[in-house]
Amino acid sequence: MGVDYYKILKVSRTSGEEELKRSYKKLAMRWHPDKHPSGTQELAEAKFKQICEAYDVLSDPTKRQIYDLYGEDALKYDVSSPSAAGAATHRRDGGRREAKDIFDDFLNGFGNDGDYNEINHKIRKNNDNINGKGNSKRSGNNNNNNDNNNNNKTDSKKSKAAAIENKLGCTLEELYKGSKRKMVICRIVPDDSGEPSTVEEVLAIDIKPGWKRGTKITFPEKGNQEPGLLPGDLIFVIDEKQHATFKRDGNDLIVNKKISLVEALSGKTLNLTTLDGRNLTIEVSDVVKPGHEVLISGEGMPISKEPKTKGTLRIKFDVKFPSRLSADQKADIKRALTRSS
Residue 161: its pLDDT value, please?
85
Neighbours of 254 (CB within 10 A): 16
Residue 251: its pLDDT value, please?
94
Q: Which domains does the chain have, with CATH numbers?
A: 5-59+96-158 (1.10.287.110), 164-240 (2.60.260.20), 246-320 (2.60.260.20)
Alpha-carbon distance of 75 to 278, in angstroms, equals 79
Could you report the per-residue pLDDT of 295-335, keeping only the tens digit for each?
Answer: 999 999 999 888 789 999 999 998 888 888 888 877 877 88
* Amino acid sitting at position 116: Y
Alpha-carbon distance of 74 to 5, in angstroms, equals 14
Could you report the per-residue pLDDT of 191-247, keeping only the tens digit for each?
Answer: 877 778 888 889 999 999 999 999 999 999 998 888 888 888 999 999 999 999 999
Task: Give the confidence band of 39 by pLDDT, cuts at 50, 70, 90.
Answer: low
Numbers of helices and strands, H then E, in the chain? 12, 11
Residue 186, pLDDT > 70, answer yes
Residue 319: its pLDDT value, please?
87
Residue 19: its pLDDT value, please?
92
Alpha-carbon distance of 133 to 29, in angstroms, equals 19
* Amino acid sitting at position 191: D
Beta strands 306-320 and 293-303, pairing class = antiparallel
Q: How far is CA 19 from the centre of its chain?
A: 38
Give the 3-state secondary structure of residue 297.
Answer: strand
Residue 239: its pLDDT value, please?
95
Residue 312: its pLDDT value, please?
96
Task: Give the confidence band of 139 by pLDDT, cuts at 50, 70, 90.
Answer: very low
* Whole-Å CA distances, 250 to 213, 280, 312: 10, 21, 10
Q: Is 114 exposed, middle or buried (0-12, 13-18, 19+ CB in 10 A)?
A: exposed
Are the C-beta atoms of 129 and 100 separated by less than 8 Å? yes
pTM for this prediction: 0.50
CA-based nearest residue to 155, from 37, 49, 33, 31: 37
CA-based nearest residue to 259, from 296, 288, 280, 293: 288
Residue 243: its pLDDT value, please?
95
Alpha-carbon distance of 84 to 78, in angstroms, equals 8
Residue 105: its pLDDT value, please?
66
**DSSP H/E element including 126:** helix 114-126
Residue 108: its pLDDT value, please?
58
Q: Give the mean pLDDT of 243-255.
A: 95
Could you report the per-residue pLDDT of 73-117, keeping only the tens digit for each?
Answer: 777 654 444 433 333 333 444 445 676 667 666 665 544 444 444
Of 47 and 79, the one with more pLDDT: 47
Q: How far is CA 52 from the centre of its chain?
A: 32
Report the chain's mean pLDDT, rounded to a whole number: 78
Q: Give the mean pLDDT of 254-275.
A: 90
Q: Give the mean pLDDT of 255-273.
A: 89
Residue 267: its pLDDT value, please?
86
Residue 330: its pLDDT value, please?
78
- Percent share of the chain, pLDDT over 70: 73
Q: How far is CA 249 from the centre of its chain?
A: 31
Task: Give the confidence band of 274 by pLDDT, cuts at 50, 70, 90.
Answer: very high
Could you report the per-residue pLDDT of 121-137, keeping only the tens digit for each?
Answer: 444 444 344 334 444 33
* Whole-Å CA distances, 196 to 20, 190, 201, 259, 264: 23, 4, 16, 62, 67
> How much helix, strand and coil, in percent to the nearest 5, is found in the chain?
40, 30, 30
Residue 109: its pLDDT value, please?
53
